[in-house]
Every structure is written in structure tokens, then in C-alpha cells.
Amino acid sequence: MIAAMRITVLAGGVGAARFLDGLIRVTDPAEVTVICNVSDDFAWHGLFVCPDIDTVVYTLAGLEGDQGWGVRGDTRAALDELTALGEDPWFLIGDRDLATHVWRTERLRTGHPLSEVTRDLAAARGLACSLLPVTDDPHPTVVLTEDGPLGFQDYFVRRRASDAVRGFRFPGAHAAQPAPGVLDALTTADVVVFAPSNPFVSIAPILEVPGVREALAATAARRIAVTPIVGGAAIKGPAASMLASLGHAVSALAVARLYSRLVDTFVLDAVDAAEAPAIEALGLRVCVTDTMMTSGERRDALARAVLDAAAS
């Protein structure tokens, strides 16, 4: 156990959940606050689904699905039945997972804000860290493609991230308020970590919420980004193809450039060690380590490396 630091993690997607899984094992989970992306949230048959929140919850609750999302070993009786009723089963929701969405939707419908519902969900699943949606307000990602604007899940799941991406819009951003606790978690942290998440559709929408960039600029915390790109590829998801279609190199360096005014330290995979000088030239400290979280031990080791970098 490393001496307790207050750690706030910006999180979205499977990489973030796996990083957090290690983090809460190697430090005191009570000192960890997760600020979670909500811009991929969407309505599924009228139920409110929060993929990034749920991936964190299931992973930290030990229920992590085989692909990183959903509940391990979940069944799909309800989904098959919706298909029998004529619905297109383009988005996979398992039966156990479905309970979460039914439960959350009813809580939201009866007037509870998402932050409160998420806190209760995390408590019901036994999470010892704090889990905050970045905002309680609608704040969707719109993906701009050659076929026009697409909702994030339309782009990502229904169309299998096959469209060339021209950009993003966050039409709810300017009216979104940070959820209670979000800005405090940034300003009072000892360390802020950008999890190994997609910079465009996980981290950027968090930064778009008014007050978040300002809090990041004002905090005395060490600010550390963990690369989501290893050896020129995304560990998971469309980050690599987004970098390419937006005219960036597909490299850790390209991500470091995107983050260079927001963080002071960049965690780079050992296979990309040759990029370290260029990243240092951006004014960032570089920590080179193994970032592939292919086992629980490797998750723990990455978390320890990040904490060591923060403490050094």
C-alpha cells in the first residue's frame, strides 16, 4: 500500500475501468474519486444506459464482462425476446445488465439526479471509491462523419465505428453544470490522472463541461495522463482510427500533444520509449512503463507506476 494521496481520475471506457481496478487495489479506495464521462449515455428502448459508468461499476465490483463491458457470463433472454418482437438487437444488453438500466431509469424518472443514482449504484455494488458522473445534465457526443452527424452509440456500436470521423460536437456542453463534487475533486486532489481512455470521446467531453478546464488549471495536483495508444494502436476502441482520420499521427506523442497544456506528466508504454524525447520537448515529464493491462498484476503495476510518478 502506497501512502495515501487523494487521487482523482478522469475516466471513460474499458481502459479506464481496468486502470481503476488496479488503482483501488494498490491505494486506499476511499482516497480515489472517479469523474466519469457520460457523453456516450443513451436511451435504449426508453431505458437510460450509462456505458462508461457501468463499465467502471461492473469492473470494480468484480463483475467485468469478457469483452470488458457488461456483466461476466450474462445471459440475453430479454434481448432475444425483444428481437422476437421485431426489434433490431444492435446494442447488446444482457439480462443482469438490464436490471441496472431499469433501476437507474426509474430513479431518474422519479427525480433523482444521475450523481445521486450513481452514488447509490456504486454503494449497492460495494464500491469503496467515489464515482461521479461529470455532469447530471444531458451532454451527448455527436460524431461528425461523411454521412452526417451521428449519435455516439450509432457511430460506435450500430455502425461499428466504420465511418471516417471529421470531428465532434458537444451540443449540451455549454449548458451542462459539473455534478456536485466534480470541481472539488479536481481542486483538492494530490493527483489527477487522465485514464488510458479515448482522448476525443472519453476525456474531451469531460473537459468540455464548464469549470473543468479551469479547475484543472487551478489545481495544485500533479496531473498525469496515461497513454491510450501503444505501439501505434489503440488498446481498445476507435482512438487510433479517430487520430488518423483527424490528421494526427497514431502515436502516444500525438496524444501527448493533445494533452500537453492540461497535464504535467505523460505515462508512455515501454514499446514507445523512442517517443519520450519528443514528449519531453512538449514540456512534459515522461514515465516509461508497461501499460498493457492484460492481467490483474499488470493493472496493479501500472497503477503503482502512476503513483510513483506522482510521488517523485
Residue 275's closest CA among 230, 226, 225, 228?
A: 230
Q: Is 92 in the site for a copy of itself (CB under 8 A)?
A: no
Pick from 78, 244, 292, 301 the residue near a copy of itself by CB under 8 A: 78
Backbone angles phi, psi at 133, to 5 degrees: -70, 145
- Does residue 5 sit in helix, strand or coil? coil
Residues for the chain: how many in total? 312
Q: Is 295 in the site for a copy of itself (CB under 8 A)?
A: no
Pick from 21, 31, 74, 272 the residue near a copy of itself by CB under 8 A: 74
Give the nearest distance from C-beta 54 to a copy of itself in angstroms: 12
Give the nearest distance from C-beta 87 to a copy of itself in angstroms: 7
How many chain residues touch a copy of itself (CB under 8 A)?
31
Grid cell in block for residue 79: 434481448
Give the nearest distance from C-beta 41 to a copy of itself in angstroms: 17
- Half-sphere exposure in the Cβ direction for 50 (13 Å, CA): 33
Give the nearest distance from C-beta 6 to a copy of itself in angstroms: 29
Grid cell in block for residue 143: 460524431
Backbone angles phi, psi at 117, to 5 degrees: -65, -40
Which one of the spans 78-86, 197-205, 221-229, 295-303 is the region binding a copy of itself (CB under 8 A)?
Answer: 78-86
Q: Is 87 in the site for a copy of itself (CB under 8 A)?
A: yes
Pick from 4, 66, 90, 109 the residue near a copy of itself by CB under 8 A: 109
Grid cell in block for residue 50: 450509462
Residue 134's closest CA among 236, 215, 75?
A: 215
Give the nearest distance from C-beta 158 to a copy of itself in angstroms: 17
Query: 31 and 5 in contact (C-beta within 8 Å)?
Result: yes
Q: Using CB under 8 A, list all residues that contact a copy of itself.
A: 45-47, 71, 74-75, 77-82, 84-87, 94-100, 102-103, 105-106, 109-110, 121, 124
